[in-house]
Amino acid sequence: MRNEFDRILRFWFDRGVAGFRIDVVHMVVKDAQLRDNPPATDDDHWMVRLTGQRQVYNGNRPEVHDVIRRWRQIADSYDPPRVLVGETHVFDTEAMLAFYGSGDELNLAFNFLLLHSRFEADTMRKVVEDTLAAIPSESWPVWTGGNHDMYRFPSRWAEGDPAKTRCALMMLLTLPGSVFLYYGDELGMPDTEVPEDRLEDPVGKWLYPVYGRDPERTPMPWSPGPGAGFTAPNVEPWLPFGDIAACNVEDQRRDPDSMLSLCRDLVGLRAAVPDLRVGGYRRVAAEGGLWAWRRGERVIVALNLGDDRAGVGVSSGVVRIGTERERDGERVAGSLALGPWEGAILWLDEAPADPA
C-alpha cells in the first residue's frame, strides 16, 4: 500500500501539481492491535464527546509520522519542491506542531485550535502566541476560519454581524504565516439553514439537530438572479441556496465598501508589503478588548474585539486599511482609537527603535 501511495504522489507531481492537502492526516495509521478507543469524558472537547470516544487507537499513532516523512521526501525530491498540507484536526498545540516534525513532515498543518476558539481577544491571542512560540524555526504556521466540516466563521465567530466578520478577515490575512479562505469567506457568506429533509451529509443526518456539515456546503452565490450563477435557472441544486440577494459576487464586486472589496484589498496589501508577508509578530500593549500586534518594522494591526471603544498607543502613521473603509488614508499620531468591533492596519512613518 505504501508503494502504491508513492506511485500516486509521483504520478501527479510529474504532471506539475503543486502539492496535496491530506485529509485527516492524523488518522491515516490505525493501531496494529485494533484496540478499542476509550470512552470520552466530560472533560473532552465537544467534538470528541459527540463521537463518544477518544481517538487514542485510530488517530495520532506514532507511526503516522513515518508515513508523512516518507511522503515529504518524495515531495522534496522535485524542483520546485511540492507542498504537503495536512488536515490535523487535533485539540492542543503540541499535538498539532508534532506534524511539522523537524521540518521534515508537513509543510503546513491546519491550526484547528484557532478555528474552534471563541472570537475574543484574549482567547485568539493565546492560540496565536502559543503557536508562534512553539513552532519549529524552520516551519510555517497556517490559519483558517472555517472549512467544509466547520460552520462558517461569519456565523460561528461573528454571529451574523458584518463588523465582526470584517475583523475576522483582517485577523486571518494579517497574522504571520499562510491563510486559507474557504469559498464564500471573501463574501462574508453565512451558513445556510438546511431543513432536515434536504440533508445530504451522513454525519448531519446522524447527529441532527446537534451538528451537521451541510450548512457550510451550500452553493456559491455568483449572482443575484435565478440559479445564482451557480446553475441554470429553475434547476434545484443538491443543497438549497442561501440568501443570494444579500450575498453574491456580482453585487459585491461593484461595491467598494463590500466584504469582497475588503478581502481583495487585504490580499493586495499583504502582497505589496513585505512586513505582512514575512515580518515577525510582536504584541502591542492595548486596552480593553483590543488586540494589537506589530508585523515586522512598520506595520501595526489593531482589532477591537469588544463592545466598547478602545485604543492603542502608536507613533505617527497612516491607516492603510480599516474595517470601516472611510478611515483608509487617515493620519494617526499618538494613539489609534477604535469603535466596537473595528479594526485597522497602520503603516508607521518610521520604524520603532526595537523592530520585530
- Please, is 164 exposed, middle or buried when counting C-beta atoms within 10 Å of its C-beta (0-12, 13-18, 19+)? buried
Q: What is the pLDDT of residue 23?
A: 96
The ranges assigned to domains in the chain are 2-266, 280-348
Q: What is the pLDDT of residue 194?
A: 97
Using one digit for the tens of pLDDT, what is the confidence trace for 218-258?
A: 999 999 999 999 999 999 999 999 999 999 999 999 999 99
Q: Distance (Å, rounded) from C-alpha 61 to C-alpha 28?
A: 9
Q: What is the pLDDT of residue 123?
A: 97
At the fourth CATH level, the homologous superfamily of domain 280-348 is: Golgi alpha-mannosidase II (2.60.40.1180)
Same fold, 2-266 and 280-348: no
* Secondary element (H or E) of residue 21: strand 19-22
Residue 269 φ/ψ region, left for φ over 0, alpha for ψ in the -120 to 50 degree band, beta for the rest = alpha
User: Residue 356: is its pLDDT beyond 90?
Assistant: no
Helix, strand, coil percentages, rounded to 5, for the chain:
35, 20, 45
Q: Distance (Å, rounded) from C-alpha 140 to C-alpha 312?
A: 28
Question: Are 178 and 185 spatial neighbours (Cβ–Cβ below 8 Å)?
Answer: no
- Please, is 324 exposed, middle or buried when counting C-beta atoms within 10 Å of its C-beta (0-12, 13-18, 19+)? middle
Q: Taking residues 164-182, report their average pLDDT.
A: 98
Q: Which residue has the cell 447527529?
A: 207
Using one digit for the tens of pLDDT, what is the confidence trace for 3-46?
A: 999 999 999 999 999 999 999 999 999 999 999 999 999 999 99
3-state secondary structure 201-250: CHHHHHHCCCCCCHHHCCCCCCCCCHHHHCCCCCCCCCCCCCCCCCCCHH
User: Residue 355: is its pLDDT beyond 70?
Assistant: no
Q: Distance (Å, rounded) from C-alpha 114 to C-alpha 132?
A: 12
Q: Which residues pair with 344 in a beta bridge?
A: 302, 322
Coil/strand/helix, residue 282:
strand
Q: What's the CATH class of domain 2-266?
A: alpha beta
Give 168's contacts (C-beta < 8 A, 6+ positions apart).
119, 145, 153, 154, 157, 158
